Amino acid sequence: MKRALRPLGLAGAVAAVVGCLTPWATFFFGYPGKVTLSGFPGGARLYPLILAVAAGVLLLVDVHGRRRSGLMAALGGLAIAGYNAVAIAKDGGGLGAVAFGAWLTLAGTALLAAAHSFGKEESAIAHSRFPNVKAPAPVELLIIAGSLAALLYVVVLSLKIEESTRFVSFVAFLGFAASALQRVDAFEWLQSVFDRHRQVTLGAAAIAAIAFPFTQAGSSYWLRVFASIGVFAAAAIGLNIVVGLAGLLDLGYIAFFGVGAYTGALLGSAARTTYDTHWPFLLVVLIGATVAAVFGVVIGAPTLRLRGDYLAIVTLGFGEIFRISAFNLDWLTRGPNGIAGVPDLGLGQFNFGETHQVFGVTLPGFANYYFVELVLLAAVILMFTRLNDSRIGRAWVAIREDETAAAAMGINTVRMKLLAFAMGAFIAGAAGTVNAHVAASAAPDSFTFLESILLLAAVVLGGMGTVPGALLGSAALFVLPEKLRAFQDKRLLLFGLALILMMRFRPEGIVPSRRRQRELHDEDGADAMGTVAAP
């Protein structure tokens, strides 16, 4: 019986591939991706095709974890084909609109999934040695370049896709493909390759980031988007210190960002303010960040002595107090209208709002802000990683895991928690000050509870305690609402559900910190956690 599974699965793979090359819709009604044509995998048909081929290959090649990986790939193909079939039936007015190719793909991927799920229990290779495999240095460098290019390509592609259905298919594809890759330890291996060539990786990433504005041919649209993601990500990394490292839940984090923004607007010679101050930008950033940190200490000092839960409520309260104050203190904040007309930055003779010529390439004004965000982000990331690797970072993690034990080990828990809180506030303040210039204004509406929740969601979804997680989370939270216009109204509902599901099934986030993942999934680790968490 079992012997018949492999040919059956392979037949499924062939069927799915053929299905993806034949039409999915019986007639043309404007469904994206030319799904009425045959001979090439247009539109969303490409994704099940790739997944089916991968699942088919995994039937033939024996690697550790292939059963679960193949099952994931097959299920991904099934899900994407099913979703598109439903969408085609809905748009085309009934099941008659769904053509043979779609049914064939569904049947094929279902067969593949069955073959993998009822197949041999585990592969002959008991333990994966894959993460320790070393390739020659030039090959590894090529792999690094290739994966960075692939990452960039994925980002650009996801920005380019216009239609909602196709975008959902694409995101589903990324999710299932990543999950299939993870089950054959591909990411662990990539990570080890990156670690072996750390400087090269960082250098390549930096060069790509710096070169980006030169490729935009004077247009500022994407620069604007990336600058906004940058400032959001900088704040998210700051929040990650508080939530991810020290384990303190801050629900009013946006208030510190707001303190920075108002400081920047008040001191940075805004046109519409009652005070006429013209202080240099770098000084203003420092002042904004420091003022925010002082607020952090003032809020944190009384509450951090108590159980952590109180902090959540008090920070939430502080966030609301800040917003209502900004709304009501007309003499300082100009009330609901906010402070508008914050001028472009200037350092010496250099005006950041103007177009500049560099190496014969015209850079729009926004490119300057893009670079400012890049510097800010780099500084924040450096701060985060250095702190994380230091004695202070280890103290924070110890407090997060077990406060009583940490105190017994001689850590001054109150002081350390206060430091984390102030540090997070400092970073948010700096990001806020910069943002006042980028957004050219500061108004109370930008600092609602919802914004705090968005930042928290970026950290939680991306991965608590990691930099890539916070970056990925911020980018996703910025790009997804742009793309999913069809779901615009249900955006918040999806956030809420995502938070619940994430905590239930993958509390370590999309990009987990390695230490955390070990704690959460390792057998012994799970036991240890259970005993610790019991009251």
CA-angle at 402, arms to 397 and 405, nearest 5°: 110
| Residue 455 in the binding site for other proteins (CB under 8 A) | no
| Residue 535 in the binding site for other proteins (CB under 8 A) | yes
Beta-strand relationship, 441-442 and 339-340: antiparallel
User: What number of chain residues touch other proteins (CB under 8 A)?
Assistant: 49
Q: Strand, helix or coil at 464?
A: coil
Task: Choose one: 150-158, 306-314, 437-445, 477-485; the region binding other proteins (CB under 8 A).
Answer: 306-314
Structure tokens belonging to residue 128: 């994966």
Specify the residue, 147 or 517, whose C-beta has the smaller distance to other proteins. Answer: 517
| Residue 528 in the binding site for other proteins (CB under 8 A) | no
| Orientation of helix 413-439 relative to helix 253-267, angle to 10° | 50
| Residue 409 in the binding site for other proteins (CB under 8 A) | no
Task: Choose one: 148-156, 190-198, 245-253, 378-386; the region binding other proteins (CB under 8 A).
Answer: 245-253
User: Which residues are within 8 A (CB) of 278 and not within 5 positions of it... i.e. 6 or more apart?
Assistant: 268, 269
Least distance in angstroms from the C-beta of 488 to other proteins: 12
Q: Name the helix (H) or strand (E) containing 291.
A: helix 281-303
Q: Which amino acid is at 447?
A: F
Least distance in angstroms from the C-beta of 525 to other proteins: 12
Specify the residue, 204 or 312, whose C-beta has the smaller distance to other proteins. Answer: 312
Q: For residue 268, report the phi and psi dihedrals to the nearest 5 degrees.
A: -90, 35
| Residue 336 in the binding site for other proteins (CB under 8 A) | no
Task: Choose one: 102-110, 155-163, 189-197, 321-329; the region binding other proteins (CB under 8 A).
Answer: 321-329
Among 305, 386, 485, 521, binds other proteins (CB under 8 A): 305
CB atoms within 10 A of CB 312: 15
- Binding flags for other proteins, 17-56, as an x/- string (CB under 8 A): ----------------------------------------
Least distance in angstroms from the C-beta of 307 to other proteins: 6
**Please, how many CA atoms are within 13 Å of residue 259, restricted to the half-sphere of its CB?**
28
| Residue 410 in the binding site for other proteins (CB under 8 A) | no
Q: Please tell me the distance from the alpha carbon of residue 436 to that of residue 291, in angstroms, as a whole number.
A: 15
Scanning 329-412, the segments in alpha helix (DSSP H) are 330-333, 365-389, 391-401, 403-408
Q: Strand, helix or coil at 50?
A: helix
Contact footprint for other proteins (CB under 8 A) = 243, 247, 249, 251, 302-303, 305-310, 312-314, 316-318, 320-321, 324-325, 327-328, 400-401, 403-404, 453, 456, 460, 489-490, 492-493, 495-500, 503-504, 507, 529-530, 533-535
